[in-house]
Amino acid sequence: MRAARLIKMVLLLQSRPAMTAAELARELEVSERTITRDALALSEAGVPVYADRGRAGGYRLIGGYRTRLTGLARSEAEALFLSGVPGALRDMGLDDAASVARLKVSAALLPSLRDAPVSAAQRFHLDAPGWYQEPETPELLPTLAEAVWDDRLVSARYRRRDGEVERELAPYGLVLKAGVWYLCARAEDAFRVYRVDRFTAVALGDDRFVRDEGFDLPGFWEERAAEFARSLLRTEVVVRLGGAGARWLPRVTDRAAAREALEAAGPPDAEGRVTVTLRVESEEVAYSQLLQLGPEAEVLEPASLRERFAEAAARMRDLYR
């Protein structure tokens, strides 16, 4: 632990002209007294750490010292490719590896380029969860992430609607979608998708599985996500849309379903409205979605949904009378 901290301290000083004890303590998450002891230890080991006294003082390396400890370990290299998703790294327990990797890269850069990481971080940031959602880290995510990195088989208990089931899984990859973590794993010679927050227990096995080199995680996820979205749309409604309603439809309902409905619609009627057949998850969902279009949408079928909109329109009329 201390050796890793000393290396990180040297890399920090190598990537910047000078740093105060407070800055180093904050970066390394230790006390300023520990920084003083670490600086002394580095000096005794032959690393030329120089301490400037006074209010504007701090620590710096002298004599153009360059550490050769810039080679990336495998875990650091892998974490570096995920460094644009800081929340995901933290959730999977990889933020320390990514931090060291970034420092090693910074230390290897020319002096004129050392502000590149800070410059990029000040200009681009990825915030994965959707609005109005409090992101929660599943308790077993770090364990599953370790299994994914090491190609380790796991024994797991998974919560379904009909109760808990036990599975032996070969975890191939993790996906973060709209703030929710999913595991893509092989079970019983088939690839499946599991919500990480529904695992109730995960035990790492001693055996490793042989990864199918033909498995494409982005492609697999895109295909399964499309299948899942289509499987939810089990109900059809017929809607007559005004011009604004046709433009707004993709904003209030499934984009793909809205696009398909609009492309299949016939020409506008005498009032300039088009009639579409829209696939939706349920009448309840259709009601909440299409209500946002107000008078720009007239539900024609099913009759039960049309009656519900008529009642809503009557209540609105009474409110604004």
Structure confidence by residue, pLDDT tens digits, 119-136 = 555 555 556 666 666 667
Retrieve residue 46's tokens. Answer: 């032959």
Percentage of residues of the chain with pLDDT beyond 70: 75
Specify the residue for token string 């670490």.
Answer: 38
Q: What is the pLDDT of residue 175?
A: 87
The separation between CA 250 and the C-alpha centre of its own chain, rounded to angstroms, equals 24
- Mean pLDDT check: name the lowest of 17-21, 79-83, 145-149, 298-302: 79-83
The separation between CA 239 and the C-alpha centre of its own chain, rounded to angstroms, equals 36
Q: What is the pLDDT of residue 98?
A: 62
Q: How confident is the model at residue 231 (pLDDT cuts 50, 70, 90)?
A: confident
Please state the rounded mean pLDDT for residues 204-208: 92
Q: What is the pLDDT of residue 50?
A: 81
Q: How confident is the model at residue 81 (pLDDT cuts 50, 70, 90)?
A: very low
Q: What is the pLDDT of residue 74?
A: 56
- Higher-confidence residue: 192 or 63? 192
Other beta carbons less than 10 A from residue 164's beta carbon: 12
Q: Are 284 and 232 in contact (CB under 8 A)?
A: no
Return d(Cα 228, Cα 250) in angstroms, integer: 18
Specify the DSSP element, H or E, that contains 257. helix 255-264
| Nearest Cα residue to 3 out of 41, 29, 33 | 41
Instruction: Confirm whether pTM is higher than 0.75.
Output: no
Q: Quick check: 116 pLDDT over 60?
A: no
